[in-house]
Each structure stands twice: as structure tokens, then as C-alpha cells.
Amino acid sequence: MTKVIGLTGGIGSGKTTIANYFALMGIPVYIADDEAKKVMQSENIVQQIKTTFGDSIFENDILNRAKLAEIVFNNADKLAQLNAIVHPAVKSDFELWLQENKNHDYVIYEAAILFESGRYKECDVIITVTAPEQIRIERVVKRDNTTREQVLSRMKMQWNDEKRISLSNFVINNSNLKIAKEEVVKILKILNIKQNQS
């Protein structure tokens, strides 16, 4: 049976970069945040979001993600409401994807809130990606064209590294990409995963 490696880390830790490196090594990768964006365009989910958050976050029937982010990242209850709509749909989508990749020994499930959502309980192995807070803030400010304050408010909504690490099997420090890639190779060897298994 295919084993699921949960890959997580705080905002700006560079977990997607690490996930992409696993993909280069031949491990199928499911990026939960990317799939959630697709799921959120489905008619059923759009309707639920409109019912919960109102029409004002839609422009010409297209969800304004920045407006929605502003609401949920400043209000834990609103974030929980959004997650209750999106998470079950992503879970179903992942289960279909897992079926499509069942010929692989391992797959990667990459999610920012792997622990907060409880999905970590469904993983066989958990890897947490870390990086110093200042580096993480700089990465997100540059990537999302946002402010330091907005990044910090999103960080507050997530578990801290200590909490994540306490429940993880492996930790990758991603302040230096070359060293982080070496860590990926080491983990693959420990798990005895043949590189480029496809």
C-alpha cells in the first residue's frame, strides 16, 4: 500500500521548493494549497463561500482571494469556517489522486496546515521544513508583495516550529537550499526510496 509522507512547515519556510525537489527525485507530490485553489473554483464551493462570507468578496463572480485572506487571517473563527468548507473537498480530491498514484511506494502530501487541520494523523511519515523567522518573513514579503505585519498575522494563525517538530519524523532546515537538498537525499535513503522510482 502507498505510504503518505506529510510535508509541512510555516509560511515562507520553502516547503514547496522542497516538495518540488522530491518530485525531481521521482516521488509524486500533491500540493494541497494549489489544489485548494482549484477546488475553490467549483460551483458547489463557490456557493458555500458566498453563503458564509457574502458576495462582497466576489468581483464579476470571481473570488477576490486577497479580500478573503484579509478576513480569515485576522479572525480565527472565520478561518475555521473557510477550512470547514474547503478541507473536505481537498481530502476527497487527494483520495482520488492517491488512487491514481497507488503504484508508488511513497507519495508526498504537502500542506501548510498539516497539523492544524488534523490531516497529519493520516500520514505515515512527517517532515517539517524550517527556516529562521527573518528569512521566512523576507521570502513572503517578496513573494506575495505583502507587508511584514500581514506575514506575522498569518504566522500567528499557524503552529510554531517547536510544536511541529515534536510530532515530526524528520526536519529539514531550509535556510541553505544546497544543504536542504542533501537532507532530502538522506531522508530518501533512510526510507529506502529508490530515486526516480517512476
Cell digits for 61? Answer: 463572480
Rounded to two decimals, the pTM is 0.89
* Residue 27, all three cell numbers: 516521488
At 36, which helix (H) or strand (E)? helix 32-39
Angle at the Cα of 157 (from 154 to 160), degrees rounded to 5?
100
DSSP 70: H
Domain limits for position 87: 3-190
The total number of structural domains in the chain stands at 1
Neighbours of 107 (CB within 10 A): 20
Q: 194: which residues sit within 8 A by CB, 6+ positions away?
A: 26
Is 15 marked as binding a ligand?
yes
**Residues 77, 99: Cα–Cα separation, whole Å:** 33
Is residue 32, in this structure, part of any structural domain at all?
yes
Residue ranges in the chain modelled with pLDDT below 50: 197-198
- The label of the residue with cell 527525485 reads 25
The residue type found at 191 is L
**115 in a structural domain:** yes
For residue 198, tell me if it sits in a domain.
no
Instruction: Consult the annotation and say whether 2 binds a ligand.
Output: no
Q: Give domain status of residue 195, yes or no.
A: no
Paired sense of beta strands 29-31 and 170-173, if any? unpaired
Q: What is the CATH number of the domain that holds 85?
A: 3.40.50.300
Sign of the C-alpha dihedral computed for residues 175, 179, 181 and 187 taken in this order = negative
- For the stretch 100-144, pLDDT in tens is 999 999 999 999 999 998 999 999 999 999 999 999 999 999 999
Q: What is the pLDDT of residue 198?
A: 40
For residue 149, being part of any structural domain is answered with: yes
Asked whether residue 196 is domain-assigned, the answer is no
What does the pLDDT read at residue 194?
Answer: 60
Q: Is 7 helix (H, G, I), strand (E, B) or coil?
A: strand
17 annotated ligand-binding residue: yes
Residue 147 is labelled as binding a ligand: no
Look at residue 197 and tell me if it is in a domain. no
Q: Measured between alpha carbons, how far is 183 from 179 in angstroms, rounded to an integer? A: 6
Helix, strand, coil in percent for the chain, rounding step 5: 55, 15, 30
